[in-house]
Amino acid sequence: MEVSLSDCVFCKIVAGQIPAKKVAESEKSLAFFDVSPRQPLHVLVVPKNHHDNVADLAFSDPEALVDLIQLGSKIANDHAAGSFRLTFNTGSDAGQTVFHAHGHITSKSLKETSGN
């Protein structure tokens, strides 16, 4: 599916044109809560530069892929209670619906925080 960069929802979130509930940010990646979470923890991690999918990102900018995975792992460590998934869908047949590379950090259990 061909989407122009000006129509890419994740590019617009990175640019601040669409609001998102940000979780964390690095030089090359941005993480924010999914608007339709499928688990108690569901965060999306995207590269700040547009790449159609994770395979394109891996070949075009491997440093950005490492940055994305490191940021995702930090978020999982901070928010998940020990277990998490970091998944990538590549192509519409695999379930990719937004054609900007992104990882889903999901977990059924959240880390308990002391709010007392």
Domain containing 31 equals 5-107
Q: Is the pLDDT of residue 5 over 70?
A: no
- CB-based contact 69:86 (threshold 8 Å): yes
Q: How many domains does the chain divide into?
A: 1
- CA nearest to 105, candidates 90, 88, 93: 88
The predicted-structure confidence for 49-90, as pLDDT tens digits, reads as follows 999 999 999 999 999 999 999 999 999 999 998 899 999 999
Tokens at residue 50, please? Answer: 């547009």
Domain-located, residue 19: yes
Domain-located, residue 115: no
Tokens at residue 56, please? Answer: 């394109």
Enumerate the active-site residues. 102
